[in-house]
Amino acid sequence: MDKKSAVSNAKKRPSVREYFKGVKVETNKVVWPNRKELMSFTSVVIVTCFVFAIIFWVFDSAFLALLKAVLNISM
């Protein structure tokens, strides 16, 4: 019976209160960016999204032109 109680104790989940205490502890460990860093990171994300959108548009247009030429269709 000793092994069963040890296994059941190991499987117990922490309470909701303990969970949120852990979340708070981990959140306090986060190094939050300052305003300048935040603006810089945001700019990088926006520019990267724009560049990838252009690249996907170019590949999509090229693929469509290739399909039109191979299948001899017009849209």
pLDDT 10s digits, 2-29:
565 655 555 677 789 999 999 999 999 9
pLDDT given for residue 14 in this prediction: 77
pLDDT beyond 60 at 1: no
Residue with tokens 């690249």: 55
Express each pLDDT in 19-73 by its tens digit. Answer: 999 999 999 999 999 999 999 999 999 999 999 999 999 999 999 999 999 998 8
Q: Rounded to whole angstroms, how far apart are CA atoms 75 and 67?
A: 11
Q: In this predicted structure, what is the pLDDT of residue 11?
A: 67
Residue 2 backbone dihedrals phi, psi, to 5 degrees: -65, -40
Domain boundaries defined on the chain: 2-71
Per-residue pLDDT, 40: 97
Calpha distance 2→68 (Å, rounded): 73
Please report the sign of the dihedral spanned by the C-alpha atoms of residue 27, residue 30, residue 36, residue 40: negative
Q: What are phi and psi of 61, to 5 degrees?
A: -65, -40
